[in-house]
Chains A and B, each alone.
Chain A
Amino acid sequence: MSTSQPDRELVVDGLSIRFGGLTAVESMSFHVAKGEILSLIGPNGAGKTSAFNAITGYIEPNGGTIAYRGIRLNGLKPSQIAAHGVVRTFQKTSVFMGQTAFDNVLLGLHLASRQRPLAIIFALPSVAREEKELAEEARRILAFVGLEARGALLASSLPYGELRLLEVAIALAAKPRLLLLDEPVSGMNPSETASFMQILARIRALDITVLLVEHDMKMVMGVSDRVICLNQGRIIADGPPAAIQSDREVIRAYLGERYTRAQD
């Protein structure tokens, strides 16, 4: 399925996730096209983060397949999936708190680095050369998200909005081709959200496909090419932002049965 249509970067087919008796995701099928920004929306508990976790290998799905550029991701470890270019951020702010912002990005550059243990122990010149390049790259990435002045500060001393930017910087350091952002602007104020949308536009200019989970509808409708709405583990709508906004099922999921009847 994925090999026949080359513009389909990620194909999720019949994905099911159950936690004991609770069905988090029920035979969900969707795809992410190359270069697009696709948003997953839905009320709390709709299964958005569970789908994220399954795609990036943090939980084993109970059924269905996930394929990225024709490569089956089911059963791979998160680190292997990252090596294929599928990199995520986390819903709860997740950085290396005890390290400086600069070192955070340097830790994220793991996949960009090629040093072997023996080369490190014997301090081959290639290692020193690469370390220089990595430091340069880390500074570039920090500047990309606008944190160039924060490099020397401990992550734990950064304000919340900057922590969320640092998260994105760490993910970008892993050289993603498909970036999964899990509620990146939750808790940000409107001006921070606006500048985050600009960063998202620049990420897209780097030819990185983005899969976004977000509750901030202004942001979702502003940046997405396509929106998928989930409710109780199922896809209830899939289309461009404008169509989603007027979709009866979506309105019912968010606002309830009585609201849709009142509208009629």
Chain B
Amino acid sequence: MKQGLTIAWLLFLASVPLWLNNLYVLHVLIMAGIFIIAAMSLNLLLGYTGQLSLGHVAFFGIGAYASSLASLGFAVHLLPDWQVSVDPKPVWFSMLCGTLIAGLCGWAIGRLSFKVRGAYFVIVTVSFAEVIRLVALNWVELTQGPMALNNIPYLRLGIPGLFELSFLRKPANYYLVLAVGVICYVVIRRLVHSRAGRAMIALRENEPLAASVGVDVTRYLVLATIVSAGMAGAAGALYAHYVRIVDPDVFLFIYTVTMVIMVVTGGKGTLAGPIVGGAIFGLLPETLRALEAPPEVQWVTYGVLMVLVVYFLPDGIVPALRNWWHGRSAVAAAPAPEQASTEAAR
């Protein structure tokens, strides 16, 4: 039944561009989708390993910049008389580069987190994001600084001379974001229901005990950061080739905060949490604007709703719904305990 529900949801999401003929709404959905992917990646780190990365937008921005630069080509002087130049690459390859470079940065941050945990990890990630933002702002030769990278090419896939898919228009981009989102969801789902995910949960719940049964804490923290950063980078690459302009503002702290809000309100450590939280808090501002609420009312509503969710559903929306559902079905029929536990383990 659960699988049927997932398929029904997917079919519904896939059908949206067919019946929705409002391009602005489609744009809002695409942007929310990109943010949901970023929030899902943050959830792997925050929800499953329990490490709060408050610089997660750095990976998003690195993915966006790396992918844009690879597709535009660039030439920089690393030393006064040593110039490195890169020719424009195909967009699909650039997006892959963006993902991999973000993953590599994730590896470096993950190695650091071996030494620093908790509050210190938060400070390291915040500083990392800020340093990267300053680099993007000031290394004008590479990033154009505040002038921004313009005319970023859009994605084209196909065999030359036979057929070509171009991801210029919104419906195509919608499907691209949906496809990447589904891939990320499946990867995260497989990870968390495996030995690797259990190791992450173990070190979130009780690190000394996890170590005592042989969980190599560093190894799994680093794995989680690499995967998480790579996915955030992929989201950044999607953003760059959809919006087609990238400036240092992609590194703004508020975007990290938005991702954290999506994860925490939706339910951290649950697969559906960031999707639900992302759908609500990604679409809410635009919905309120469509209802022609004055700006101050929009933001007050956003804030009040957030406070209400955090106050009344501290574990998030998805766990609360799940408890409510279990409570109902437990009254209807007491489930066989063993079966329930294996299902939870799946």
Mark contacts of A183-221 with chain B using CB atoms, 8 A cut-off: 1 yes-contact digit, 0 otherwise.
Answer: 000000000000000000000000000000000000000
List residues of chain A with CB within 8 A of the CB of B195. Answer: 110, 113-115, 120
Q: Please, how many angstroms separate the alpha-carbon atoms of A135 and B346 in the complex?
A: 9
Provided the pairs A77-B216, A96-B201, A120-B190 are in contact, do residues A106 and B345 lie with their beta carbons within 8 angstroms?
Answer: yes
Please, which residue of chain B has its CB at the minimum distance from the CB of A89? Answer: B212
User: Which chain B residue lies CB-closest to A108?
Assistant: B213
- Determine the chain A residues whose CB is within 8 A of the CB of B193 once the complex forms: 131
Partner of B211, one of A78, A114, A152, A173: A78
Contact in complex: A100, B344 (CB < 8 Å): yes
B206 touches A174 (CB 8 A): no
Closest chain-A Cβ to B192's Cβ sits at a distance in Å of 10
For the complex, is B161 an interface residue (Cβ under 8 Å from A)? Answer: no
A99 interface residue, CB < 8 Å from B? yes
B196 in contact with A107 (CB, 8 Å): no
* A139 is an interface residue with CB less than 8 A from chain B: yes
Bound Cα distance A119, B287 (Å): 42
- B337 interfacial contact with A, CB 8 Å: yes
Task: Tell me if A151 is interfacial: C-beta within 8 Å of chain B.
Answer: yes
Is B66 in the interface zone, CB < 8 Å from A?
A: no
Q: Which of A9-17, A80-88, A238-246 contacts B (4 or more CB under 8 A)?
A: A80-88
Give the residues from 174 to 194 in chain B that come closer than 8 angstroms, CB to CB, to chain A: 187, 190-191, 193-194
Q: How far is the CA of A84 from the CA of B208 in the complex (A)?
A: 17
Are B210 and A107 touching (Cβ within 8 A)? yes
In the assembled complex, which residues on chain A have CB atoms less than 8 Å from the CB atom of B216?
A: 77, 79-80
Q: Kindly supply a per-residue 1/0 record for chain B positions 4-15, scoring 1 wherever the CB is within 8 Å of any chain A CB and 0 otherwise.
A: 000000000000
A 95-128 contacts with B by CB, 8 A: 95-103, 106-108, 110-111, 113-115, 117, 120-121, 123, 127
Interface membership of A255, Cβ < 8 A: no
Q: A94-B206, A135-B342, A139-B338 are in contact. Are A56 and B212 (CB under 8 A)?
A: yes
| Interface residues in chain B, defined as those with a beta carbon under 8 Å from any beta carbon in chain A | 187, 190-191, 193-196, 198-199, 201-202, 205-206, 208-217, 223, 337-338, 340-342, 344-346
| Subset of 12 A-B contacts with CB under 8 Å | A58-B208, A78-B208, A90-B208, A102-B341, A102-B344, A106-B198, A110-B202, A110-B213, A110-B215, A115-B194, A120-B195, A174-B214
